[in-house]
Amino acid sequence: MIFPETTTVTTSYTTYDSPLGELLLVGEESATAAGGTALTALALALPQQRGVTVQPHWRRDPAPFGEVVRQLSAYFAGKLTRFELEFRTNGSEFQERVWQALEAIPYGTTTSYGRLADVLGVARSEVRALGAAIGANPLLIVRPCHRVIGADGTMRGYAAGVEAKIALLTHEGALQPTLI
């Protein structure tokens, strides 16, 4: 009996100190990505950040994330408004469609869940499913789910916390800083 050859993909991770706190970067080998790694997750390295947990078989290695770190640093320095990174995510067909639509929301702007539903052709009765897909986005910041807010301007949930969402929107100029 002949067994098919299996391919093992190396998953690497590292952390990055950002103005929001420590970010966890996770990626898989890719022959076409800058640095040889396609980004699979970017999350706040906090216990409350759901969905991203370092696995025992992952390799801690900052080297493959040089381009990701460069772009994140430029973003937080106010010099980058659009990320040019290779992503590799494993959502449902619906989730992937929603996550790709997030990339079209321009820097410094916001949209509502309802407007995003209209763009995607999602029935108003399915806006909760849209919200769930946005909430499951594994690539915070680089796929800007923080730019989706309530129709009344309220800050709805954000996987990294509403405070982080407000900080990102203020950084991008979509919200005015508050004086306290």
**Does residue 137 carry a catalytic annotation?**
no
- The answer to whether 95 and 133 are in contact (CB under 8 A) is yes
The residue annotated as part of the active site, out of 145, 149, 168, 174, is: 145
The alpha carbon torsion through 157, 55, 87, 83 (nearest 10 deg) reads 60
- Pick from 14, 12, 140, 22: nearest CA to 83: 140
**Where does residue 14 rank: exposed (0-12), middle (13-18), buried (19+ CB within 10 A)?**
buried
CB-based contact 48:165 (threshold 8 Å): no
How far CA 126 is from CA of 94, 99, 134, 157, 158, in Å, comes to 11, 16, 13, 17, 19
Active site residues: 145
